Amino acid sequence: MKNLTYLFIPICFACQPGGEKRPNESSIETPAFEAITLLGDTLYTPSVDSGSAFNDFIEAKGKYENDPEDADALIWFGRRTAYLGQFQDAIAIYTTGIEKFPEDARMYRHRGHRYISTRQYDNAIADFEKAVELIEGSEDQVEPDGQPNERNIPLSTLHGNIWYHLGLAYYLKNDMENALRAYGNRTVTERYDDNIVSGGHWLYMIQRRMGLDDEANAAIEEVNAAMEIIENTSYYKMCLFYKGLIGEDDLQPQGSRSSANDVYTYSIGNWYLYNNQDTAKAKEFYEQLLENGNSYSFAFLAAESDYQRLFDND
Structural domain spans, the chain = 1-139
Whether residue 92 has pLDDT greater than 70: yes
Tell me, what's the pLDDT at 172?
A: 98
Question: How far apart are the two ends of the chain, measured CA to CA in Å?
Answer: 13
> pTM of the entire structure?
0.88
Kindly report each contact of residues 267-275 with a partner whose C-beta sits within 8 Å and lies 24 or more positions away, as own/partner.
Answer: 267/201, 267/205, 267/238, 267/241, 267/299, 268/241, 269/303, 270/205, 270/302, 270/306, 271/241, 271/242, 273/306, 274/205, 274/208, 274/209, 275/208
Question: What number is the average pLDDT over the span 117-134?
Answer: 98
> Is-contact 231 201, C-beta < 8 A?
no
Which is higher by pLDDT, 251 or 3?
A: 251
Mean pLDDT of 139-161: 91
Give tens-digit pLDDT for 35-85: 999 999 999 998 888 999 999 999 999 999 999 999 999 999 999 999 999
Alpha-carbon gap, residue 240 to 225, rounded angstroms: 8
Give 252 or 116, the one with higher predicted confidence: 116
Which CATH architecture best describes the domain 1-139?
Answer: Alpha Horseshoe (1.25)
> Has residue 6 got a pLDDT over 70?
no
Reference 179, options 121, 233, 94, 231; nearest CA is 121
Predicted local confidence at residue 31, as pLDDT = 52
Task: State yes or no: pLDDT of 155 exceeds 60.
Answer: yes
Overall average pLDDT of the 234-247 stretch: 96
Kindly report the average pLDDT of the chain as a whole number. Answer: 88
Average pLDDT estimate for 282-290: 96
